Chains A and B, each alone.
Chain A
Amino acid sequence: MASTKVTHKGKKQEQEAPLKGTWISVTVVGLVIVATYIVLYGLYMARI
């Protein structure tokens, strides 16, 4: 029984494991996209 409890607790912890690192990583992806867009937009505006 004790081991079952531990397993259940473990599963609960797994389910509640935060994905903060994932959100940070996805934010970096978004920032790269925005930065690329801004750089090319800047070049476009500078050249027209």
Chain B
Amino acid sequence: MKMEADLIAGFKEKTNKMLGFYTEDAKLSKSYIAVAFIALLVGGFLGLLQGLNRAGLLELPTWFNYYQVLTAHGLLLILVLTAFFTIGYFYAALSHNLGGLLPKVRKLAWIGFYVKLVGFVLAVIPILMNEASVMYTFYPPMAAHPVFYIGLALIVVGVWLCCIGAFIQVANWRKNHKGQHVPILSYFATGVFVLLFFALMFVAVEVLFMIIPWVFGWVDTINVMVARTLFWAFGHTLVNIWYLTAVSAWYVVVPKIIGGKRWSDLLTRVVVIALVIMNITGGFHHQIIDPGINAVVKFMHVFMSLAIGFPSLMTAFALFAVFERTARRKGGKGLIGWWKKMPWGDVRFLAPFIAMLSFIPAGAGGIAQSTNQLDQVVHNTMWIVGHFHLTLGMSVVMTFFGISYWLVPFISNRVLTPQINRLGVIQTWIWTIGMICMSGAMHYVGLLGSPRRTSYTTYGDHATALGWDPYLMLLAVGGTLLIVGVILQVYAVFNMMFFAPKGETEFPIAEEEDNATKTPYLTERWGIWIVVMLIVVAMAYVIPLTEFIVNAPPGSPPFKTW
């Protein structure tokens, strides 16, 4: 009996390996994805509280006020959800593409997992104690409890460990596959981890060498301009790391799901390289209204920010081309009639497709905001919050949702049932309507002057502020729909993880077109691209940072503004 059981187990293991499924690696990704969706659930509820408060429908108690909720909401959704999902997803890809994770890589990822968890717990405790209501941007001179920053530092270390693990995994594969291109999804993973590795350096310097000595009282003041600049060199890159993660699924996974092929391997890799090189330098457009930065530097940063639009437009063309070509092969006709041939009933396509569509207004808003004068219309208003929810809450998160409907069954050795697919389609529409209501209301009320990062107030019943109320009510309606979407999504994920029928699920990776041109090996020369990236970063940051340090404004002591 034992021999028979061993034989069956051995056969299963061999079959799994042929399918690119490795049990130990799957457990790792499953843990990361589980944490991501728990963060979505908790962060989503906190978002609902904020929405109801902003509409004047709910007064939050003093022991759990608006700014605490806002900080926790940001931390859970912007850091926990995205970091854990991105790492879980790309580690699943590295395992599947590159013949299973090396034991030391898996170990690094597990250590990173626990270091990040400890970091998040440390960051959350002072928030709950109302000692860290500094929001996720933690701009000095607002100062939180030191434990909050120690938690952030541990998160950075945890993510770095995962970056190093990914680099070891890819380097090992390249050593054993000389002259070959790294499989495309692992190529995206490489780009994402390169960006994470370098972008985190900026925030690490800010937290470790500026903020921690300042909040412990080892130094009296902080250079606010340098701190803000370091934050946004990281923060802006983080936004584009989410975007690049979503784009990886758009280029590689979605074509397979619709029964098509990838558009162009070369174009895809060029897009990854372009986003890696040009990303970090976009940080200054978040500070475009800040004083103390000269116009020439601002102009250069506007140019660098807008340059990211170029690979995005290449992506738009490539994806529409894949859709049209696939639809026409399936018999689609007419100028736009071929759209009918898309698998609208498949949540694995529907969710990322709506995510892509939402990136059109999201990207357009981003382009406009990057312009100095136009940003003055919307800066620090609810427009920015709307833009952020459109980019992260729709373009990125809906893609993550779409990914979950095949990734979670894959790593759980289960299948996507028609019932969960139907639930996913319903969830997708609820999320879409909710986000259009909420984000649309935020955009519009922002144009009317409603400020961001402010709890509900009528400013002494001022007519202008009272005029915002109908839109804030729509915001609350959207937020309420979104929490329904959150509950359905979290239910679907944990159902697929633990309760769906056992079975094999494919890891969908589209092949290249039959007549595809050969991609030059130059795209694999990461050494060159990283040097170019560092040169571009130096061009963008050396002069302004030197100016901020040499002609430093008066430093600021810490303030607790809440």
Contacts and interface: CB of A to CB of B under 8 A. Distances in A.
Contacts of B335: 20-21, 24
Given A32-B360, A36-B367, A22 B374 contact: no
B324 A15 contact: no
A40 B377 contact: yes
A20 B323 CA distance: 12
Interface residues of B, number: 31
Contacts of B323: 22
B27 interface: no
Size class of the A contact interface (CB-based, 8 Å): 20 to 34
Interface string B370-381: 010110111000
Given A15-B515, A44-B373, A47-B377, A36 B321 contact: no
Interface in A10-33: 11, 14-15, 17, 19-22, 24-26, 28-29, 32-33
A36 B324 CA distance: 26
| Interface hub of B334, B339, B364, B374 (most chain A Cβ within 10 A) | B364
B321 A22 contact: yes
Given A17-B325, A21-B324, A47-B377, A32 B361 contact: yes
B367 A44 contact: no
Helix, strand, loop or mixed for chain B's interface? helix
Contacts of B377: 40, 43-44, 47
Helix, strand, loop or mixed for chain A's interface? helix
A44 B313 CA distance: 26
B447 interface: yes
B499 interface: no
B338 A21 contact: yes
Nearest to A15: B515
B104 interface: no
B10 to A, nearest CB: 42
Contacts of A22: 317, 320-321, 323-324
B328 interface: yes
A4 B320 CA distance: 30
B515 A19 contact: no
A40 B368 contact: yes
B316 interface: yes
B479 interface: no
B373 A14 contact: no
Contacts of B367: 33, 36-37
Given A22-B317, A33-B367, A40 B374 contact: yes
A35 B338 CA distance: 26
B461 interface: no
B320 A26 contact: yes
A47 to B, nearest CB: 7
A36 B447 contact: no
B328 A11 contact: no
B543 interface: no
B329 interface: yes
B365 interface: yes
B368 A11 contact: no
A14 B361 contact: no
Contacts of B339: 21
Interface in B420-465: 447
B476 to A, nearest CB: 25
Nearest to A10: B329
A25 B320 contact: yes
Contacts of A15: 515
Contacts of B365: 36
B368 A21 contact: no
Nearest to A46: B377
| Interface hub of B334, B360, B367, B373 (most chain A Cβ within 10 A) | B360
Contacts of B4: none
B522 interface: no
Contacts of B325: 14, 17, 19
Contacts of A26: 313, 316-317, 320
Nearest to B373: A44
B324 A29 contact: no
Interface in B290-340: 313, 316-317, 320-321, 323-325, 328-329, 334-336, 338-339
B329 A14 contact: yes
Contact of B368 (A14, A20, A37): A37
Nearest to B449: A47
Contacts of A41: 373-374
Nearest to B378: A40
A19 B321 contact: yes
B368 A36 contact: yes
A4 B363 CA distance: 46
18 contacts: A21-B320, A21-B324, A21-B334, A21-B335, A21-B336, A21-B338, A24-B335, A26-B313, A26-B317, A28-B360, A32-B360, A32-B364, A35-B364, A36-B361, A36-B364, A36-B367, A37-B371, A44-B374
Interface of A: 11, 14-15, 17, 19-22, 24-26, 28-29, 32-33, 35-37, 40-41, 43-44, 47
9 A-B pairs with least C-beta separation: A36-B364, A22-B320, A25-B320, A33-B364, A40-B374, A21-B324, A40-B368, A22-B321, A43-B377
